[in-house]
Amino acid sequence: MTTVDKPERATQNRVIKLFSEQLGYTYLGNLQSKPDNRNIEPPQLSKYLSANGYSQAHINKALDKLQTTANNHAQNLYNNNKAVYQLLRYGVAVKIAAGEPTDTVHIINWQHPEANDFYIAEEVTIYDGEKTKRPDIVLYINGIAIAVLELKNSRVSLGEGIRQSLNNQKSSVIGAFFSTIQFIFAGNDSEGLKYGTIGTPEKFFLNWKEDEQDNTDYKLDKYLRKICNKSRLIELIHDFILFDGNKKKLPRVHQYFGIKAAQKYIQRKQGGIIWHTQGSGKSIVMVLLAKWILENNPRARVVVITDRDELDKQIKQVFEEAGEKIHRSHSGRDLMKQLGQQTPRLLCSLVHKFGNKEVDNFEAFIEQLKSQPSPAVGELFVFVDECHRTQSGKLHRTMKALLPNAVFIGFTGTPLLKQDKATSLEVFGNYIHTYKFKEAVEDKVVLDLVYEARDIDQRLNSPQEIDAWFTAKTSGLNEYQQAALKKKWGTMQKVLSSESRLGKIVADIVSDFSSKARLSSESGNAILVASSIFDACHYYNLFQDTALTGKCALVTSYNPQNTDISDEETGANTETKKQFIYNTYTNLLKAIQAKSGKSKAETYENEVKQQFIHEPAKMKLLIVVDKLLTGFDAPSCSYLYIDKSMQDHGLFQAICRVNRLDTEDKLIGCIVDYKNLLENLTGAIQVYTKELDYDDFEAKDCDILLKNRLKEGRERLDNALEAIELICEPVPQPKNDLDYIHYFCGNTDIATDLKQREVLRMTLYQTTVSFIRAYANIADDMEGAGYRADEIKYITNRLNHYHKLREIIRKASGEVLDLKAYEADMQNLIDLYIQAEDSVVISPFANLPILEIIQKIGIEKAINTLPDGIKDNQDAAAETIENNVRSKIIKDQLLDPAYFEKMSLLLAEIILQRKQKAIDYQRYLQEMANLANQVSSGTMNNMPPLLNTQAKRALYNNLGQNEALALQIDTAILESKSDGWRGNQAKENGIKRAIYKILNDLKEVERIFAIIEQQRDY
């Protein structure tokens, strides 16, 4: 075996050695056979606490509280994990006896990392409920499991390791084990290392990046050393974990180093600017930095300043969702009053509340303030959000004059313009840390942006041009979708016939919602930026005559008042602009009930914004003018349509609405420009027209470039097709359906083949989805992307081929996988782009596993529900059923080992008879149907009647079919078990003692207990 062929085991051995020899962790061994592995290991934790002077009584109380908190079945994993984190970070409050003081037992020594006991274990078998799983590596601090690492072979994507951990976190698997886990790692020798935490979706797993010039070792080893260094790991857990609105968050690498850099400035009482590009998590940096300042400096106070009311509200919400109390000042007087007393320590305010900038002699006003500064209490640290907008204003000079001793930290998501540099340095100081747009795209922290200018006036001037435009728009769709859209076309004619430019844009956008894969999916939505409130209202009314009626909303700063139109009546039978706006909003808000403290307009805005974010299928389009384009809780979207003159900072912040990572099917952010705002420069588009501040950087690092949609789309499609062709290249000729089934599912004679090829099948499924998504992005203009007619035909044929292949393999393997994580949009893509057969009978069993269909309608009818490539080939049909039975046996093996071992032997016998042609096909089908029914039901027909539960039958099968003994143990379990016994060692031991009284054999008790844990009846 060459080093290229080395197995996963070799990587795991090397990683274990790295932790033991280089990082100083104690190796606990291979725990595969240890029956009671837990996320809280009492021996190790007791040893640590005892060495730190705690009495046995304190240790017992702390252990009990920690275990109870970690295994609270009334709460979900997020809340249990959060509660455990609080105990780890702040200690466990215990009271030994009534009347005695409450003591705090500190589980981890945060101040002295080396004083803790760090452990590593491998193959940690976890028994939980009906599942048994075995994480490759678990890291412990003082006996508390704080990290899980799944390793993969170099030829297997580390995404498999991520999905493995995501599956393990389900409550139906071993979710309870993750209640103490802070880090989840996945890695291999080819791709390196990714990290996340509980609940982190696969798409949001992160890469670490540090000392990039060092290329002497595997990236996996390099970054495990960086992150899991004792001091670094303790610091990350203590200072950089955030529970934010039901999501647990870890820092991205730029956030970590940005905060570390800021800490040094703050310790020197020195201000500066943090430039982290839009969408990269600036608000998290603010929260974590503020928490660190307040914890480490008892005299510190933090004031967060913005220049817009909605941003001020957002900042208060962000801090509160992260568990930090913050006072929002509602007036300048209140702000000065709060600053003049010791509390609150955390405040937010608008910059305008610092005083009046409109004075006759501003310089004299500033000098007066400097001579009479505000009597602020404590050491003030002022965070100024969006400092690129506010740092050059007079209000900032006022603020600095009022608070001369404060340290000012500016935050911006956009590059500074050269014309603003001098003032920026004067107010804030130098850059503390930068994380530019180009870096964020390379790190996949934000998405690439693609740009398309549409000259709607020239394209839609005549009926012929309109028809040609419609044909081009729908060219990538299948025939059914084209026909369906043509039926809707009549309603669009009404909008277009107005000869209004806005009407043409509405028609263009509506057709995108029908023909663009992302927009027509349940997760896709868009924002339209209008040039004025009048235009926005006009757009809104036009959309009411389209398919988007009821799914489109208007969000502007306008709030209708009767006084708005008191002087507008002219007597003519026409509406003035003000009347038109007023009437549009009055009709819009007619059914809205204003919430307490809010106007109807504010209530409406909050409702539609929440729908847009959380229910995009019900709210597809927001029409705005200025609102919702800036700020860290401004909603993200898939498409941004611009019909307003914008430039520089405003334009960049607006287009960054579409570069946020959302769902797995969102690959790029799309900007459609109806104003031709940007100049196309050699295939990339430069966002900024004014010169940026390049003095400290290279121009290529600061420039914000957008990519051409078709050029980028072609490259993505070519790569996707090449990837899937390479995966299928090893399939032997003639590459018929059975050849593909053998390659992706293996030999049904070999029980392990199906499982061993699971990764190969997953790769096929994923690359198929990637291929269809890439096609969908440019299906409407393949010719514009440079494809010839014969190339387009070839690609569409391959698209249909691989979609059918994917379904054949899923059916043939009996794959029951949760694919939602990475192909939530798949059905929509298939509906849009995959050409259906001429006659399609939709089976009511289409989404059921084949074994369930056999139970419902019999085996021969079940075979007819399979894809053509399987049902028309007896061998393919047979192997499909065999693989499905095998898959079910493997899945349920632990539930009843003896029974499913018998089923496995029966399956092997039937397969052998078929392959040796010892039985004819009809007899084979009959025997397979009987076996399939027994495997699905989990029982045979001749069971004694008293064995009326799955648990009793499992005990009977695994106790030598001794009915009396099985019933005796069942009774003992029911009498000895208590609520929440799984995962609670004391309660589990109570059940084991009851079983031991009957069996009198410790090994036999452990064997049977492992089966008991799998039973729902207990």
Q: Is the peptide bond before 463 cis (omega within 30 degrees of 0)?
A: no
Confidence of residue 839 (pLDDT cuts 50, 70, 90): very low
Q: How far apart are CA 579 and CA 195, in angstroms?
A: 56
* pLDDT at 605 exceeding the cut of 50: yes
Residue 331 tokens read as 């007036």
Query: 3-class DSSP state for residue 695?
Result: coil
Distance of CA 669 to the CA centre of its chain: 17
Q: How far apart are CA 498 and CA 232, in angstroms?
A: 65
* pLDDT at 46 exceeding the cut of 90: yes
* pLDDT at 128 exceeding the cut of 70: no
- Mean pLDDT throughout 811-838? 55
How would you classify the pairing of strands 449-453 and 526-530? unpaired
Instruction: Report residue 137: phi and psi, to 5°.
Output: -140, 140
Q: What pLDDT sits at residue 656?
A: 80
Query: What is the tens place of the pLDDT at every residue in 420-433?
Result: 655 566 667 788 99
Q: Of 865 and 908, which is predicted with more confidence?
A: 908
Boundaries of every domain in the chain: 8-242, 251-443, 449-559+574-688, 709-813, 866-937, 950-1014
- Mean pLDDT throughout 662-680? 77
Q: What pLDDT sits at residue 467?
A: 67
- Mean pLDDT throughout 928-934? 86
Query: 3-class DSSP state for residue 950?
Result: helix
Q: How far apart are CA 112 and CA 949, in angstroms?
A: 54
Q: What pLDDT sits at residue 964?
A: 94
- Mean pLDDT throughout 275-283? 86
Q: Which of 372-386, 539-553, 840-854 has the lowest mean pLDDT?
A: 840-854
DSSP label at residue 22: I
Query: What is the tens place of the pLDDT at every residue in 640-653?
Result: 999 988 877 777 77
- Mean pLDDT throughout 653-679? 79
- CATH classification of 251-443 is 3.40.640.10, yes or no? no
For 461-475, letters b (16+ CB in 10 Å) and e give eeeeebeebbebbbe
Residue 86 tokens read as 């609080």
Query: 3-class DSSP state for residue 453?
Result: strand
Q: What pLDDT sits at residue 186?
A: 96
Residue 401 tokens read as 């004059």
Residue 509 tokens read as 């956008």
Q: How far apart are CA 593 and CA 603, in angstroms?
A: 8
**Range among 317-331, 336-350, 375-389, 701-715 rated most confident:** 336-350
Q: What pLDDT sits at residue 698?
A: 56
| CA distances from residue 696 to 275, 431, 692 in whole angstroms, order as listed | 13, 9, 11
Do 939 and 953 touch, CB atoms closer than 8 A?
yes
Which positions ≥6 away from 674 have C-beta within 8 Å? 454, 456, 505, 641, 642, 643
Strand ranges, E, within 315-469: 327-328, 346-350, 379-384, 407-412, 431-435, 449-453
Q: How far apart are CA 536 and CA 543, in angstroms?
A: 11
**Rg, C-alpha atoms of the chain:** 33
Do 369 and 401 touch, CB atoms closer than 8 A?
yes
- Mean pLDDT throughout 865-881? 82
Q: Which of 394-403, 500-509, 640-649 has the lowest mean pLDDT?
A: 394-403
CB count within 10 Å of CB 861 equals 13
**What does pLDDT average to over the chain?**
82
Long-range Cβ contact pairs of 295-300 (< 8 A, separation 24 or more):
297/379, 299/378, 299/379, 300/345, 300/378, 300/379, 300/381
Residue 577 tokens read as 């602009």
Do 511 and 492 touch, CB atoms closer than 8 A?
yes
Q: How far apart are CA 37 and CA 26, in angstroms?
A: 17
Confidence of residue 249 (pLDDT cuts 50, 70, 90): very high
Q: How far apart are CA 728 and CA 860, in angstroms?
A: 31
Q: Of 16 and 277, which is predicted with more confidence?
A: 16
- Mean pLDDT throughout 906-915? 86
Q: What pLDDT sits at residue 1017?
A: 86
Q: Which of 112-116, 373-377, 591-595, 819-823 has the lowest mean pLDDT?
A: 819-823
Burial of 2 (0-12, 13-18, 19+ CB in 10 A): exposed
Q: Which of 120, 206, 130 is nearest to 162 (CA)?
A: 206
For tokens 């199906």, the residue is 754
Q: What pLDDT sits at residue 56?
A: 94
Confidence of residue 765 (pLDDT cuts 50, 70, 90): confident
Confidence of residue 334 (pLDDT cuts 50, 70, 90): confident
DSSP label at residue 893: G
Q: Which of 708, 679, 676, 703 is nearest to 692 (CA)?
A: 703
Q: Same CATH topology for 251-443 and 449-559+574-688?
A: yes
Query: What is the tens place of the pLDDT at every residue in 738-750?
Result: 899 999 998 877 8
Confidence of residue 29 (pLDDT cuts 50, 70, 90): very high
* pLDDT at 192 exceeding the cut of 80: yes
Which positions ≥6 away from 379 have C-beta within 8 Å? 269, 297, 299, 300, 301, 405, 407
- CATH classification of 449-559+574-688 is 3.40.50.300, yes or no? yes
**Range among 369-383, 388-402, 701-715, 905-919 rated most confident:** 905-919
Query: What is the tens place of the pLDDT at every residue in 682-712?
Result: 344 555 544 555 555 555 555 556 677 788 8
CB count within 10 Å of CB 871 equals 16
Query: What is the tens place of the pLDDT at every residue in 429-484?
Result: 788 998 988 888 888 888 888 888 887 765 555 666 666 666 766 766 766 666 66
* Intra-chain end-to-end CA distance of the chain, in Å: 48
Residue 791 tokens read as 């190339």
* pLDDT at 844 exceeding the cut of 50: no
Amino acid identity at 453: A
Burial of 733 (0-12, 13-18, 19+ CB in 10 A): exposed
* pLDDT at 498 exceeding the cut of 60: no
Q: Which of 138-142, 353-357, 583-587, 846-850 has the lowest mean pLDDT?
A: 353-357
For tokens 């056999």, the residue is 854
* pLDDT at 272 exceeding the cut of 80: yes
Q: What pLDDT sits at residue 1?
A: 41
**Range among 197-211, 516-530, 774-788 rated most confident:** 197-211
Q: Of 986 and 327, which is predicted with more confidence?
A: 327
Angle at 415 between CA 410 and CA 419, to 5 degrees: 90
Q: What pLDDT sits at residue 701?
A: 55
Bridge partners of 641, per DSSP, are 528, 672
Bridge partners of 670, per DSSP, are 450, 639
Q: What pLDDT sits at residue 573?
A: 59
Q: How far apart are CA 262 and CA 6, in angstroms?
A: 44
| CA distances from residue 552 to 497, 513, 611 in whole angstroms, order as listed | 21, 12, 11
For tokens 């106790």, the residue is 959
Q: How far apart are CA 669 and CA 682, in angstroms?
A: 20
Q: How far apart are CA 621 and CA 640, in angstroms?
A: 10
Angle at 900 between CA 894 and CA 904, to 5 degrees: 130
Q: What pLDDT sits at residue 976?
A: 92
DSSP label at residue 660: S
Question: Read out DSSP for 178-231?
Answer: GGG--EEEEEETTTEEEEE-TT--GGG-B-----TT--SS-HHHHHHHHHHSHH
Confidence of residue 904 (pLDDT cuts 50, 70, 90): confident
Question: Read out DSSP for 966-1008?
Answer: HHHHHHHHHHH--TT-TT-HHHHHHHHHHHHHHH--HHHHHHH
* pLDDT at 759 exceeding the cut of 80: no
Query: What is the tens place of the pLDDT at every residue in 287-309?
Result: 899 999 999 999 999 988 876 66
Q: Of 360 and 640, which is predicted with more confidence?
A: 640
* pLDDT at 836 exceeding the cut of 50: no
Do 320 and 290 touch, CB atoms closer than 8 A?
no
Query: 3-class DSSP state for residue 306?
Result: strand
Q: Of 551 and 930, which is predicted with more confidence?
A: 551
For 333-369, letters b (16+ CB in 10 Å) and e give eebbebbeeeebbbbbbbbbbbbeeeeeeeeebbeeb
Q: What pLDDT sits at residue 495?
A: 52
Q: What pLDDT sits at residue 604?
A: 94
Do 175 and 207 touch, CB atoms closer than 8 A?
no
Q: How far apart are CA 459 and CA 738, in angstroms?
A: 50
Q: What pLDDT sits at residue 821?
A: 42
- Is the pTM higher than 0.85? The answer reads no
Q: Of 507 and 526, which is predicted with more confidence?
A: 526
Q: What pLDDT sits at residue 858?
A: 77
Q: What pLDDT sits at residue 484?
A: 66
Do 119 and 143 touch, CB atoms closer than 8 A?
yes
HSE of 503 in the Cβ direction (CA atoms, 13 Å)? 14
Confidence of residue 822 (pLDDT cuts 50, 70, 90): very low
% of the chain with per-residue pLDDT over 90: 37
Q: Of 47 and 827, which is predicted with more confidence?
A: 47
Q: What pLDDT sits at residue 45?
A: 97
Q: What pLDDT sits at residue 48?
A: 97
Q: What pLDDT sits at residue 226?
A: 97
